[in-house]
Amino acid sequence: MLNYFKIFSRTCGFKPHQNSLAQCFRALSSSSSKYSQGAPVTPVPEITEKYPHLKTHKDIYDFSLENPSEFWGEIAKSYLQWMEPFHTVSNCDLPNGKISWFEGGKLNASVNCVDRHMRSIPDQTALIWERDEPGTEQRITYRQLYDQVGRLASALLQHGVRRGDRVAIYMPTSPAAAVAMLACARIGAVHSVVFAGFSAQALASRVLDAGAETIITSDQAVRGGKVIELKRIVDDAVRECPSVKRVFVATRTGAEVPRSGIDIPMEEAMEAAPAECEPAAMDAEDFLYMLYTSGSTGKPKGLVHSVAGYLLYCMFTQKQVFDLRPGDVFGCVADIGWITGHSHVVYGPLATGGTAIMFESTPVYPDPGRYWEMVQRLRPTHFYGAPTALRLLLKHGDSWVTKYDRSSLRVLGCVGEPLNHEAWQWYNDVVGDKRCSVIDTWWQTETGGVCLAPRPSAEGAEIRPGMPMRPMYGIEPVLLDEKNNEISGEDVMGALCLKRPWPGMARTIYGSHQRYVETYLKPMPGYYFTGDGAHRHPGGYYQITGRMDDVINVTGHRLGTAEVEDVMDEYEPVAETAVVGFPHELKGEGLYAFIIMKNDVTVTDQEVKDTLKGLIRNNIAGYAVPDHMLIVPGLPKTRSGKIMRRILRKIAANQPDDLGDISTLQDPSIVEQIVQLHRQQVQ
Ligand code: 7RM
């Protein structure tokens, strides 16, 4: 029961360690960058106490691969609170998509995230809600969280929600949303959080696919000072979903919103329900939740995560990758609608008995200083964000950062895309004052938790800019060539695959196990295929080159679009770039670069293009110089900030009339502007 304290008390004596500034390293271009400072490296006492011959990080890593059952078995016993112990650590047949961990074990995720901390640290803040309006944050303790989760879980049961039912959650990033997720977990219902920026159509298709009878929403959402009519959108969606029987409506603004016969006011229902709710004893492999993510086809996939394996991997990475210590305040600014919000706003921080910030706003509201003003006010030890936001803020200048006190920060994380060198340097030098560890984490909705990151590592080991570097314990990355052979050696590129199952991997695609097997396990039999390409640098360090479909072959040379982008992004006047391939008569594929300039630059478009060509020629090769460069006012991005390259590829291929569905874009109107410019300047 006191596992949490066991974990931390054994690490408390660990001495912080300062790394000397080591030699400069450049992965993709020639200008210099510095290593970030070293940081203490969280040890794994659960393993080293039982196997004292394991001394170094490499010893423990090798052990995790060679003895996965011993490794994960010990971690699972120590990290999780079980109602019944498991008898078999791992029982997997990867090629056929049978993944099973901790068979025989029974547990409940809400007990692990709430009850055990409610008993040991009831008055510690569990969640700090950083509301849209700056300076109006609210704190909720483990005791309060326990009360709310119990009440909502009881209310769900009273209103007919049952174990195994799917429940759609369509809410702003808020404690109420975390309570909704944990209340589902408590009664064994499978939650499906749908990002509250998605349209009624997108919500309806996800509710239908999951066969959800219950939706939990809020009256309204507020983001960047704008009100979003969540309840109205839910009503529109419900009209297309005859399966929906009940809609719980939480109060965010208290505004008058449309009502319907199946509404249940959430706070009233909680008030009327008992705070004590017996947690369901879930099998290790029962579904904890599903989460939709886009693939290469149009139809989003509902990836399913398990109770035990997911929670364990999420908790273990939370601690190991971010060097989490008692008293830390984890500031992940992701929305709960994405996997990062699931793993590092809700499940990871709470399972470890930590304190997590829930960020409801945007990076530029009310101004581009928002993140750092929040850091000064809430004093988080960790900041975890997305490269796209960093690039945006970098464009606005340093003073928005430097005018606020950031001395509480110890670790700066990022996730979602490659963090290019310029942004890495800015994050390290300006945001972190060169005294924080910059942790570029690579992972996917499918992996459940971080798989590549500079930490954990040997004590004080170097951190190189622009790459997630090292595999997590139990993760064995390999690179495969076109014939599915493993590529050995260093300074090589290939398809990034993971060679063995790990507890956190998604178990299936809801409603289509066959699609799961075909997407991830069949392309490279015997491996989990990530869909990404990677470069293994000297030292065995991994750098992601981009989605495999972003790898281009120009005159027989393999080229990651991210490589070219990285060089262009180094050029001061450039804010952001996206490079795609297009069919080329002679070269096989040609390169097309879309470029956004910073505000107030004085150089002409022609000068920009000439300089960039020179830079690319010098930093990569002549063949990497784009055939076309188009300066654009913006790029087509999804709401989570990923560039929709399929659209740029169509434009580059001169097929702008056949762009498919662009409704999930943050700003669909940008597409027409790009097409116009393309027609005027390139076509
Ligand atoms: C956590 C998340 C997954 C895809 C993945 C990559 C890209 C994520 C990095 C990255 C380069 C990184 N889940 N990606 N992290 N690329 N460096 N550190 O983002 O399912 O939404 O996306 O994102 O292509 O396959 S996700």
Pocket flag, ligand 1, residue 543 (CB < 6 Å): no
Question: Quick one: 350 and 266 in the same domain?
Answer: yes
Domain's final residue, options 522, 546, 570? 546
Q: Which helix (H) or strand (E) element contains residue 345?
A: none
Question: Quick one: 488 and 353 in the same domain?
Answer: no
Question: Quick one: 82 and 118 in the same domain?
Answer: no
Is the model's pLDDT at 126 over the cut of 50?
yes
470 inside domain: yes
How close is the Cα of 258 to the center of ligand 1, in Å? 38
The answer for residues whose C-beta is within 8 angstroms of residue 607's C-beta and 6 or more apart is none
Pocket flag, ligand 1, residue 506 (CB < 6 Å): no
CATH of residue 597's domain is 3.30.300.30
CATH of residue 51's domain is 2.30.38.10
Q: How far apart are the first and last CA of the chain?
A: 67
* Helical pair 175-187 and 142-158, crossing angle rounded to 10 deg: 60
425 inside domain: no
Domain's final residue, options 361, 380, 397? 361
> CA-to-CA distance for 159 and 151, rounded, in angstroms?
12
What atom in ligand 1 is closest to the CA of residue 293? 20
* Helical pair 561-569 and 605-619, crossing angle rounded to 10 deg: 120
Question: Quick one: 542 and 559 in the same domain?
Answer: no
Domain's final residue, options 361, 392, 413? 361
609 inside domain: yes
In the three-class reduction of DSSP (H, G, I as helix; E, B as strand; rest coil), residue 101 is classed as strand
DSSP letter for each residue of 647-668: HHHHHHTT-TT-----TTBS-T
Kindly report the protein residue whose alpha carbon is nearest to atom 4 of ligand 1.
444
How close is the Cα of 320 to the center of ligand 1, in Å? 19
- In the chain, the number of structural domains is 3
Average pLDDT, the chain: 90
Question: Quick one: 40 and 164 in the same domain?
Answer: no
> CA-to-CA distance for 76 and 314, rounded, in angstroms?
12
Is the model's pLDDT at 6 over the cut of 60?
no
Please state the rounded mean pLDDT for residues 91-106: 98
Kindly report the protein residue whose alpha carbon is nearest to atom 26 of ligand 1.
444
Please report, rounded to a whole number, the percentage of residues in the chain having pLDDT higher than 90. 79
Question: Quick one: 117 and 190 in the same domain?
Answer: yes
In the three-class reduction of DSSP (H, G, I as helix; E, B as strand; rest coil), residue 619 is classed as helix
Question: What pLDDT shows up at residue 17?
Answer: 27
Cβ–Cβ under 8 Å, residues 293 and 321: no
How close is the Cα of 35 to the center of ligand 1, in Å? 23
> CA-to-CA distance for 324 and 382, rounded, in angstroms?
9
pLDDT digit string (tens) for 335-369?
Answer: 999 999 999 999 999 999 999 999 999 999 999 99
Is the model's pLDDT at 265 over the cut of 90?
yes
Calculate the alpha carbon distances from 636 to 121, 571, 577, 645 in Å: 46, 22, 11, 8
Phi, psi of 405 (to 5 degrees): -80, 120
243 inside domain: yes
pLDDT digit string (tens) for 185-229?
Answer: 999 999 999 999 887 888 998 999 999 999 999 999 999 999 999
368 inside domain: no
Question: Quick one: 539 and 575 in the same domain?
Answer: no
Pocket flag, ligand 1, residue 444 (CB < 6 Å): yes
What's the pTM value of the predicted model, to 2 decimals? 0.83
374 inside domain: no
How close is the Cα of 387 to the center of ligand 1, in Å? 11
DSSP letter for each residue of 363-400: TTSSSTTHHHHHHHHH--SEEEE-HHHHHHHHHT-THH
Pocket flag, ligand 1, residue 545 (CB < 6 Å): no
367 inside domain: no
Question: Quick one: 632 and 517 in the same domain?
Answer: no
Pocket flag, ligand 1, residue 454 (CB < 6 Å): no
What atom in ligand 1 is closest to the CA of residue 640? 21
Kindly report the protein residue whose alpha carbon is nearest to atom 13 of ligand 1.
444
How close is the Cα of 145 to the center of ligand 1, in Å? 31
Question: Quick one: 586 and 532 in the same domain?
Answer: no
Range of the domain at 116: 108-361
- Ligand 1 pocket test target in 290, 318, 384, 417 with most atoms within 8 Å of CB: 417
Q: Which helix (H) or strand (E) element contains residue 680?
A: helix 669-681
CATH of residue 337's domain is 3.40.50.12780
**Peptide bond before residue 265 is cis, with ω within 30 degrees of 0:** no
Question: Quick one: 508 and 648 in the same domain?
Answer: no
Kindly report the protein residue whose alpha carbon is nearest to atom 1 of ligand 1.
444
> CA-to-CA distance for 89 and 104, rounded, in angstroms?
9
Is the model's pLDDT at 35 over the cut of 80?
no
**How many Cα neighbours within 13 Å face the side chain of 393?**
27
In the three-class reduction of DSSP (H, G, I as helix; E, B as strand; rest coil), residue 244 is classed as coil
Question: Quick one: 52 and 173 in the same domain?
Answer: no
How close is the Cα of 342 to the center of ligand 1, in Å? 15
Cβ–Cβ under 8 Å, residues 155 and 298: no
DSSP letter for each residue of 30-78: SS--PPPPP------HHHHTT-TT--SHHHHHHHHHH-HHHHHHHHHHH
399 inside domain: no
Question: Quick one: 75 and 112 in the same domain?
Answer: no
